[in-house]
Amino acid sequence: VPARALAGALVAAALLAAGCGGGMAPSDDGTACMTGGEPGPLLVEERTERPQVPPYARRVTEDGTFWELSAVRVTVEGGETRFEPQPLRWRARWSVPPADLERIRAEIRASGILDAPERIAPQGTSIGGSDVTWTVCLDGRTHSVLLHGAPDARHEATDRLKRVLDRALQAGADAARPSGGG
Amino acid sequence: VSRPAPALRRRRDLDHGVPPAAAPAALLPAEERAAEESADACGPACECDECGSRSGRRVVARSILDTVGQAISGAVGAVVDAVGDVLDIRECEEEKDALEDKEDFLDGSYGPEDLRPPTGLGGFGAAYDPRAEVLTISLRGGVTFTDGLSIDAAGNVTAAAGAHPNAGAAATQIMSLPVEQRAAAVAPWQWGGDKATWLAGFESGIESAWGAQHEFHCTRRYWEDIGAQVEVEVTVHEGAKADDEHMSLTVFKVPDTFVGGVGVVSSGGGGALDNRMTLNSNDIMARRDNLLVPQAITFAPGSTALGAAAGQVSVIAATYAAGLTPSCSYCGKNIEGTSGPVLTITCQGDGPDRDASARARFDAITAALTAAGFTDTEARTVFVADTAADGQTCRVVADNGAAQIVAAHEAGHMFGLGDEYAVGAGSMITGTGRTAGQATRHDQLVRDMGLQGSVAENNDNIMSVGNVVRPQHYATFLWALREVTGMQEWALGPAGIATLPTCSLGPGDFPVPSPDGPQYA
């Protein structure tokens, strides 16, 4: 038992060190929005997976925290963008302002994503495309939409949600700047 | 009389749905036919001694057959010959028919025809000029230039829908910049006056990668001197795809330093002219995340023990696992270059004996590779010492180590080929590919070439993670050649010398060319 407890403590410490401390509390609706040791409870996530490369994901949790899962560290210096490998793990970036968080919730309800097909794929054969999975969790409902073979696979609801998410993340980045919006 | 329906399908016949007839080889005695078929299965990839045995029988050059043809059609026997031809009563009827059919074939033109191979993927044009002995493969399309990142008047930054995930990561980073710096950061992601340069680079890159890598020859008896060099012509323009073009291409502008190819080919239900390709602007250059060069393995100073680096070696073993080993269907010999990627391991050494230290580190890596399931380790690893100065690093390079040009790989999909890269547990390459050893989408077409097949494997093949166009990658070109000519009797390899007629047209009835003559070139 002591060994098991020690192992559990080590795992918990590792998760915390990896930035996965959030989301361990249960959500109001039970476990629907839990994400198994990853940042949560989840509100919206856009996860992109491509052949040959690690996944990339953007996630906003219920509390408005913006998390990024990436194996590439991007830096911009003097207008030049550099890409360097980094360990694949979730990293908290900044928080989405409450008003924008509410816009995301409203768009989840209005866009129709909660009722969109679970899998959308272009007709014919596609090789090398991305699998983009949108997952939303709101009002006790969880729903995922897989766009298999993006960019050819698209859906109006996810396009709408992407626009609102982009705006919300930009607003969060602006708010996080010391000057409050750059 | 020419043999009925000699399986030739001229351009004028293409729309009539004439079914191909039995190949003339079927008229040969069984053992001779078997020998022909076995020899046909041997391309240069086989490197079988036996494959060359047939060449000794090819002692008559085209110039001789031209002479024979002239003799056949000469004034002396013109009328008699015509009557005899109709009645099939001429002396040496079979050989004469073969030569007459050959002349008819050489006078024909075949294609251009837009084709989608049986793999159900891609589309391209194919035309064969028998006099020039050139198979022209064409790829045409319209290009939509799309900015990878955009910025609006308020400074909001967004990644284009469908852009590579790393573009999303870049957008996130640029979002966090002061607003006055964002436009400059986004500029490398936006098209300017560089579109024409890109179009030219796309065309030339694919043409040079795919053209003239291998060639074909006819295997019909007496026709073996007919060859097919392969030329690839790519023509793309800015704007929407025209109805007679094969693909609509979307190109996301990214900085040249961008890491991550985005290549996609999607083929709709409309056949050869219904395809979409997606690329990043720097996909016409070598990709920066070279999948043939895994991370270096670093040892502790003075140590030859792997320690924590053992995990890296396991990843390398899983990534470069060998697929099946194709072999020549004739002699069973393994086909060079397809029996698993070779790892060149360049090790530094330190301490009083750097060479011994470097060698011991190499040995530690190869032992760990074997323990992790890497096969044929001794044959598939090469040791290189880097002992000019003390060091603790071993660099691993798979096969030729050249980073892939994604656009050339995607062109392979337009030519109907599937992916050959492999994914698997513990591998550094993830995705929706197949595990090492599984047959690829074009496996059957490769078998139809006489090669043993095509399997998933991470190596320097162009349809895997490298740039090398191997014989198997011409499988759809060979299929296209057979389609446009309506003749199945084509095989991999350069044209030889036509089989000697053995009837009254045999040696002695005409001048024998000098072995040094151009006909032997």
* pLDDT tens per residue across span B442-491: 999 999 998 888 989 999 999 999 999 999 999 999 999 999 999 999 99
Q: Does residue B304 have a pLDDT over 60?
A: yes
Q: Which of B472, B477, B501, B473 is nearest to B490 (CA)?
A: B477
**So what's the pLDDT on residue B451?**
87
CB A182 within 8 Å of CB A132: no
pLDDT above 70 covers what percent of chain A?
Answer: 77
Q: Give the closest-approach CA distance of A126 to chain B in angstroms.
A: 4
Q: Does residue B44 have a pLDDT over 70?
A: no
* pLDDT tens per residue across span B396-449: 999 999 999 999 999 999 999 999 999 888 888 876 678 888 999 999 999 999
Say if B246 is an interface residue toward chain A (CB within 8 Å): no
pLDDT above 90 covers what percent of chain B?
Answer: 60
- Contact at CB, A74 and B169, closer than 8 angstroms: yes
Listed range (A157-161, B259-263, B323-327) with the worst mean pLDDT: B323-327
Q: Which residue has the higher pLDDT, B264 or A112?
A: A112
CB B273 within 8 Å of CB B246: yes
Task: Copy the structure tokens of residue B381.
Answer: 């690893």
Q: Does residue B121 have a pLDDT over 60?
A: yes
Q: Give the closest-approach CA distance of A28 to chain B in angstroms.
A: 30
Q: What is the ipTM of this complex?
A: 0.76
Give the separation between CA A26 and CA A148, rounded to whole angstroms: 31
* pLDDT tens per residue across span B343-391: 999 999 999 999 999 999 999 999 999 999 998 899 899 999 999 999 9
Task: Copy the structure tokens of residue B430.
Answer: 């993830």
- A80 pLDDT tier (thresholds 50, 70, 90): confident
Chain A residue closest to B250 (CA)?
A151
Task: Copy the structure tokens of residue B521.
Answer: 């070139």
| Nearest CB to B267; choose among A70, A93, A125 | A125
* pLDDT tens per residue across span B153-199: 989 999 998 788 889 899 999 999 999 999 999 999 999 999 999 99
Of the residues A52, A66, A154, A174, the best mutation for testing chain B's interface (the one with the most B CB atoms within 10 Å of its CB) is A52
Task: Copy the structure tokens of residue B312.
Answer: 């890296």
- Contact at CB, B162 and A150, closer than 8 angstroms: yes
CA dist list (Å): B239 to B198, B199, B247? 14, 12, 11
| Beta carbons within 10 angstroms of residue B387's beta carbon | 17
Under DSSP, the state recorded for B29 is -
- Contact at CB, B255 and A80, closer than 8 angstroms: yes
- B72 pLDDT tier (thresholds 50, 70, 90): low
Q: Does residue B260 have a pLDDT over 80?
A: no
Q: Does residue B514 have a pLDDT over 90?
A: no
Q: Does residue B152 have a pLDDT over 80?
A: yes
Task: Copy the structure tokens of residue A52.
Answer: 């040959």
Give the separation between CA A40 and CA A63, rounded to whole angstroms: 9
Give the separation between CA B255 and CA A77, rounded to whole angstroms: 13
Give the separation between CA B65 and CA B224, rounded to whole angstroms: 11
Task: Copy the structure tokens of residue B78.
Answer: 């013109």
CB B372 within 8 Å of CB B417: no
Q: Which residue has the higher pLDDT, B95 or B271?
A: B271
| Backbone φ and ψ of B467, nearest 5° | -125, 0
CB B365 within 8 Å of CB B392: no
The DSSP result for B301-316, as a single string, is: TT----GGGHHHHHHH
Element holding A46 (H helix, E strand): strand A42-50
Exposure on the CB side of residue B164, measured as CA atoms within 13 A? 31
